[in-house]
Amino acid sequence: MSISKPTIKDVAELAGCGIATVSRVLNNSGPSSLASREKVLAAAEELDFKFNEFGRSLKSRRSKTIGVLVPTLCNPVFADAVQGVQQAAAVHGYDVILTSANYDQETEKTAMETLLAKQVDGVILTVSSPTNSIALRMLKEKHVPHCLIFNQPKDADVSAVGVDNVEAARIVGQKLFELGHRDAAFVAVQFAKSDRSADRYRGFAEIYAKHGLREPELLEVDYAPGDLEIALVNLFETSPSTTALFASNDMLALACIRALRSLGKSVPEDISVVGFDGIAVADLVHPKLATIATPCHAMGSKAAQLLVKALQNNEKPPTGVISLPFEFRCGESLTLAAKKKVAGRAVTRPAAAPATQMQPNK
């Protein structure tokens, strides 16, 4: 319990050799005799020697740390992904510095400045809009290796891991179509601030267009309490034939179900609701939420693996978007479109496909 920690010098002294030898032995980074090897290891053990990472990083110019920037940890989707990054990084001896930007461009910028000041070796991030993100531009300018998650950037010169939001939304659209939903609406929060929402709406609308149907209504709502109810009332006034809602994420989908109930409509008897993300709680509620289950955790760990491998080879992660498999999970909140409103009861209820398991991360 010395007042200050032992340094490589102390080890050298105790082992009776030079510090260079100690460094070589402890790092396996050069020739060393069996004799000195043993002495050094014994000395290090006895002193409980640990490298000082500052000295190390200062000399080697790498921090063994990767920065993470996400909009928020309150959305379980990002929390899962961060956990994935952290675990995958730990396996390779990398640490994670965490920042969050709360969907705010300015905060994104200052957070990135912090990360860069800490000399992170690379960054994994989700931004509001890849095309005009300041944070992303900073990374490019400073030539810091990075990998996007969740975002699916349009320009192909950046590395990214995500799911194909457009395709996923197409599948939702197709399912709804097959179940007879001819009039559907898309509900989103902060539509303007999320490229994912936009992609999802696009894929969804595409299917409806393909079948010659009217473009789904777009409901952009606020977090303000009551806002959702008002939007839904408006919707049912302008489009009373609406039989399905597609929400841009699961939390919002749950909020929709609650709002519908307060308007005297029940799910799925009167209206079907589909979410997006596949958060854990979606399977616990009643009715079970129909949703697109995305591999958030795997997204994080995959991105971390890509980044770490690139760092070890002293290069950039491979450019281009990697799309991970997702899965349509048919919950109880989705059913056949009610043909006609018969006394507020559902007409038929198809045998719901059993909720399939997510495939394990690999």
Residues forming contacts to DNA in the complex (CB under 7 A) are 4-5, 7-9, 16-21, 23-24, 26-27, 29-33, 35-37, 50-52, 54-56, 58-60
Taking the least distance from each CB to DNA, the nearer of 50 and 210 is 50
Least distance between DNA and beta carbon 54 (Å): 7
Least distance between a second copy and beta carbon 207 (Å): 28
Could you tell which of a second copy, DNA, none binds residue 141, using a CB distance below 5 to 8 A set by kind?
Answer: a second copy
Taking the least distance from each CB to DNA, the nearer of 57 and 129 is 57
Q: Burial letters for 330-345: b for 16+ Cβ neighbours within 10 Å, e otherwise?
A: bbbbbbbbbeeeeeee
Could you tell which of DNA, a second copy, none binds residue 119, using a CB distance below 5 to 8 A set by kind?
Answer: a second copy
Least distance between DNA and beta carbon 50 (Å): 7
Helix, strand, or coil here: 25? helix
Q: From start to end of the chain, where are the E strands?
A: 65-70, 95-100, 122-125, 146-149, 159-162, 184-189, 217-221, 244-247, 272-274, 291-293, 320-323, 327-329
Q: Which are the contacts of 210, defined by CB distance < 8 A and separation ≥ 6? A: none
Spatial contact of 200 and 168, defined as CB atoms under 8 Å apart: yes
Of 36, 18, 62, nearest to 8 (Cα)? 18
Strands 272-274, 320-323: parallel, antiparallel or unpaired by DSSP? Answer: unpaired
Residues of this chain that bind a second copy (CB under 8 A) = 1, 50-55, 57-58, 63, 65, 68, 72-74, 76, 79-80, 82-83, 86-87, 90, 95-100, 111, 114, 116-119, 141, 251, 254-255, 257-258, 261, 280-281, 284-286
Least distance between a second copy and beta carbon 187 (Å): 14
- Rounded-to-integer distance, Cα 267 and Cα 263, Å: 11
Could you tell which of a second copy, DNA, none binds residue 323, using a CB distance below 5 to 8 A set by kind?
Answer: none
Least distance between a second copy and beta carbon 169 (Å): 23
Could you tell which of DNA, a second copy, none binds residue 90, using a CB distance below 5 to 8 A set by kind?
Answer: a second copy
Helix, strand, or coil here: 327? strand
Could you tell which of DNA, a second copy, none binds residue 289, using a CB distance below 5 to 8 A set by kind?
Answer: none
In the chain the first and final C-alpha atoms are separated, in Å, by: 44
Strands 122-125, 146-149: parallel, antiparallel or unpaired by DSSP? Answer: parallel
Could you tell which of DNA, a second copy, none binds residue 117, using a CB distance below 5 to 8 A set by kind?
Answer: a second copy
Least distance between DNA and beta carbon 21 (Å): 4
